[in-house]
Amino acid sequence: TDGLVEVRGQDIGAGLAALCASAAHPAASMDDACDTIIRALNPSGGRKDDVALLMARLNGIPGEDVAEWQLALDPREVARSRRLVRGKLLDWNLPDAVEAAELMVSELVTNAVKHGRSHHIVLRLVRTGALLCEVSDDEPAPATLLDATSHDESGRGLIVVSGLAREWGTSTTAHGKTVWFEQALAKIPGPRSHTW
């Protein structure tokens, strides 16, 4: 909470920087880490504001559950993105997810090709309890749903994504934006086994 990083008469950025510095050194246990951070940010114990600190230790996502490709700002990359997604999902033994994922990726990559400026597009898939797909480009304006009519030739891509995805969103990055969707998976398979 802000009580941990905000001090009267001091810029909150200084408190956030101190929080980052004190959290940068891993502790043996989560309790020790919390104690270290609170001591570092409240050395005299004199803060009068309530403080709440929530910590989580992530084990990370195995490398074999992440795929990332760079695409050019070229309309032909839309078809390539579908092939890449299909191949990776079949490799991950997720055939039931292919059709919807291909369609949503196609819409996001089409938008990125249309609105990107000068750099490449990044397509990223992450397999966890669901399928996460991210498409990043260098256009900083966030993606928005449009009210496309039956006479409009474009503007339906995010409507398709919002209808098929469990969740979707857009976020601004240092170099543009990322549009993402999360797709529910019917099953989460283990590693593929081979019989010889």
Decide if pLDDT at 152 tops 50.
Answer: no
Summarize pLDDT for 107-131 with one digit per residue, the tens.
Answer: 999 989 988 777 789 999 999 989 9
pLDDT for position 158: 80
Of 178, 183, 170, which is closest to residue 130 (Cα–Cα)?
Answer: 183
Residue closest to 106 by CA, chosen among 84, 89, 88:
84
Contact of 44 with 10, CB cutoff 8 Å: no
Evaluate whether 61 touches 124 at the Cβ level (below 8 Å): no
Q: Tell me which DSSP letter residue 175 carries.
A: T
Q: How far is CA 178 from the centre of its chain?
A: 8
The CA distance from 41 to 68, in Å, is 38
Domain at 63-184: CATH code: 3.30.565.10
pLDDT at 29: 74
pLDDT of residue 31: 78
Least confident of 50-59, 100-109, 130-139, 174-183: 50-59
The CB-side HSE value for 105 (13 A sphere, CA atoms) comes to 31
Per-domain residue ranges of the chain? 2-41, 63-184
pLDDT of 147 reads: 59
